[in-house]
Structure 1
């Protein structure tokens, strides 16, 4: 009896993005699949993977959403009159009825600054060709060349530190090269690397580094300096949401998925971040003006990313180092365990009870009668006329 092949499932990040694209809650998905809300949350976070009949139902449900999105994309690609920007629904009672308060769902690309590669549904290389090391390196180099320069500038706006921005992008691409079989088949490889770079750049442990005790030199232009100060004054989650939506140009569900938040939470963060920027810089109250100023601020910094071959070589060297360190640490633990087993007692020796005689202990020594030899020596010393060496005896003048 042959076992039927398991249905393919998208990545956990893609599962969540598909659900939020249909504005479905985890409870609704759980009701359709026949599981609990905690199970759906575990599937979308990647902690567990559905199996058996639940996997089949869940895969068909996600495939139906993907088919609807593909049909809508095909219909949108047909020649049609220009579409106006679609405003997202009112998110809370405070933003209702206020013009321009709800974020606009849009896609924008600015050449040379916020470059965002198109999302592709298939790998860049065929399965047969992508197995060779040369083709994998070429695909990685193309992704790096197309993404790294803009990603360094984005990370600089996120952190305000030039060295940390370059380091974050380098570490993110090193991680991507280590997991290249996974990244190569991802629907959005640039988004995978961007999320890794932003997570590394926003790690709170960087504040403990000695190099972060003093801030970097601010931009020369006063307007750029003021905008950067406002950005850095925002909470990290608000700052990242604002840059992804108004800077990179992601739509609201994608921004929420990348920041690991719900769509309403991401929308509220975006609204509060815009209000904070508009409060200190009223000229940037319009989202289009804010996007233009973010692009100009990022373009004013001449930040260069390292070469792709250097990133790959350094990543491989780092991997070898940590692998050898793990092996050495394991050998050390095995050696210490073997030494402990070799020197440890092989049988149990019970503790003697109180009052029991203990053998092998030398007798207690103390004052006692002298032996004949000691008495003879004592008599000899007492019979001596002078005590001490003669050379120390004083002489009268």
Structure 2
């Protein structure tokens, strides 16, 4: 068996290369997840690899096969690659779930645990049509492209739109009772729209809405996230109350438009935090102005709505609620949503005065708030 200058055999080099093959749903190396069953390389350099998929009919089997072939083809001395795909046994899936969730496969809400370091932002609005979902996915994409591990829960069960805004057409994968969310632009995302046929409406009332949100937070495996964003439905109804119960440490971001009437309604969405015990982190004003060809700004929906909401919430809640930013009207924002490509990922996102540039600036400000251990239990006790 050929060896390299570090004394590694070709088979050992192949195993090292496979450490770089990342499962597209779990976002961890297949070698770490117990998915690599065997690797053999003969004297002629022909490699045969056996990979265990989590479930039969895995929708991303082609991606895994291609990644294995690409990584091994780059190893000097390997002349061909044959990938054999099989499926984990029930016992192997149990081992995988134990690896991911710990002994016993605890199914609680990880983001509500006292030791959770994930920062949770619930994006709220008083009324529909203010661009809340578009703001949510663009903040998520901007954070993800900066290197953070980000997840999004589309909690607007009746008006779900996040999958389309992120260009997600894949369905979640089920590993027994555990749900693996699709990943787009580096963002792990779950939405009720992923479980429906075509554009089927959802006619659910309070208890069903609460159970759906609870299942998203309990059964969906997001892994270790830096940031989780929830796109809430407009208003102060069932989902807003459920978020307060299930994620009491979540921070609220209020989205409004410059219009005074919209500001009045948005204030209500923020003051519900006083009842749930959550903190309002800030206000984002959307559709603030339209840049004209001559450089002037046209304020189509008036002005000052964001500042009004910020000031009123600060007075009601008893602490500063800053205006985090003002996003202009920009056709590229709409085009990005239609194409499933958030505008913060395009070239215009680096330009001042554009919607993409302002969204990235807001996201950077939120992302700079580091995950800390202050006040967290480390789970250790002194020996007696």
| TM superposition score category, shorter chain reference | under 0.3
Structure 1 or 2: more strand by fraction: 2
